[in-house]
Structure 1
Amino acid sequence: MATTVRDLPGTGSGGEFERDQHGQPAFTFTIDGQKVTAHEGQTILSAAVAHGILDIPNLCNDEKLDPTSACRMCLVEIAGQSRALPSCNTPAAPGLDVTTKSKKLTHIRRTNVEMILSDHNAYCQPPCQVGCPTHIDIPGYLELIAKGQPREAARLVKEVLPFPYMLGVVCPAPCQEDCRRALVDEEIAICRMHGFAAEQCLD
């Protein structure tokens, strides 16, 4: 039988915990009307994910990192609170009534995305692909080559370039000048990899 612990520090008057099979204090609260169980110190977002509630949007959350609330995409409404709070950095507590979907939250999240993208360039494409006059999927064919699938890489190149080998020979490789790898090491030999993939079309 579970052991009930009342009025633990930080739970407020009348808070009630039960011990789970590992001896951790556990309690319940609701997310969009669904009852979920959480442990002391667990955030609303992590409790939601643990119960298969995966539609709370987030960009900066990573289980390997401490929460920063940087993106403000995981905001939720909590009954009794005057403003939306980041679920990645708000501790779950007994009896919370959490709402993850509303017109207000949709508006806030859309505004936050617009702010994030306001100074974002390259349309989320890698600089090498933006710098390529043909805009072929450079990361795509490099990944296929790295996986030992040169013929698949060649097929990907041919979706845009009907004569990939010839164009690869004469290409001045502006993509390599924009390669981000040069910031930490040296640029990838993109043009050579293009030629390698294109050679697979010749036999």
Structure 2
Amino acid sequence: MKAITKNKRIKVIVNGREMEVYDNLTILQALLQEDVHIPHLCYDIRLERSNGNCGLCVVEVGEGDAKRDVKACQTPIQEGMVITTNSPKLKSYRKVRLEQILSDHNADCVAPCVMTCPANIDIQAYLRHAANGNFSAALQVIKDRNPFPVTCGRVCPHPCEAQCRRNLVDSPVAINHVKRFIADWDMAQEEPWLPKKKDYNDTRN
């Protein structure tokens, strides 16, 4: 957020209460400074202005027939503004908007590469271990779901890479090559790591 120490204070009305806020900010920035909560997801304090994609920060500005809905993260605060941050209409809108966001949120909770992997390997975990040089930990993550990484590393069509979010920036992470490298490293050890076998005679499992 831009420095506000030199900004002047202006008067606005928020939810029926007159208050002073700093000018030269968006409605969202100005009200957050005064501990007035407005739901938001896409705003980041390091940004001059949000892209407004989440749509949760919509507030009502004005009175009576002149009242209109605006995105608080993109609308500059102005002297004398009458702002409503919470109303039945806004609650209903935000609920619908949040449901729309959540309806397509799986790839944010579970990585697309993991969802696409036929073996459902925790790809993010073994990539992290491999990047940190902890090949043993990476191998254990892989073999937890795939006991034959040496073979699969050579024949897998790696659909995970087609869904890698890195494609949005440049090119996908070489997921399959990392898996193959880890598997080859394991085979080069004096005693390749073997996962613990389940005791099928144990009726408790």
Q: What is the TM-score with the length of structure 1 in the denominator?
A: 0.62
2:75 is the counterpart of 1:90: yes
For 1:125-144, list aligned pairs within 5 A: 125-144=110-129
Distance apart, 1:40 and its partner CA = 2.5
Contact 1:60 1:70 in 2 (8 A): no
Select the structure that is richer in helix. Answer: 2
2:89 is the counterpart of 1:104: yes
2:149 — aligned with what?
168
Distance apart, 1:181 and its partner CA = 3.8
User: Structure 1 residues 178 and 167, CA, compared in 2 at 3 Å: closer, same or farther?
Assistant: farther
2:73 is the counterpart of 1:73: no
Out of 193, 196, 200, the residue aligned to residue 202 of structure 1 is 193
1:49 — aligned with what?
32
Q: What is the TM-score with the length of structure 2 in the denominator?
A: 0.61
- With 98-107 and 32-41 compared, the bigger mean Cα shift is at 32-41
For 1:56-67, list aligned pairs within 5 A: 56-59=39-42, 63-64=46-47, 66-67=49-50
Amino acid at match of 2:75: T
Q: What SS does the aligned partner of 1:49 have?
A: helix
Gaps of 5+ in 1: 1-19
Structure 1: 4+ residue segments shifted above 6 A = none
Distance apart, 1:129 and its partner CA = 1.9
Aligned equivalents of 2:83, 2:165: Cα separation in 1: 42
Distance apart, 1:77 and its partner CA = 2.7
- With 185-194 and 84-93 compared, the bigger mean Cα shift is at 185-194
Calculate the aligned-residue CA RMSD, in Å: 3.9
Q: What SS does the aligned partner of 1:42 have?
A: coil
Amino acid at match of 1:64: L
Aligned equivalents of 1:136, 1:54: Cα separation in 2: 40
Distance apart, 1:123 and its partner CA = 4.5
Distance apart, 1:74 and its partner CA = 0.7
User: Structure 1 residues 182 and 89, CA, compared in 2 at 3 Å: closer, same or farther?
Assistant: closer
Contact 2:40 2:54 in 1 (8 A): no
Aligned equivalents of 2:19, 2:181: Cα separation in 1: 54
Contact 1:56 1:100 in 2 (8 A): no
User: Structure 1 residues 63 and 185, CA, compared in 2 at 3 Å: closer, same or farther?
Assistant: closer
Q: Deviations 1:114-157 (Å, cap 9, x if unpaired)?
A: 55577x586444432222013233234323433445555456x2
Amino acid at match of 1:75: V
Aligned equivalents of 2:126, 2:69: Cα separation in 1: 43
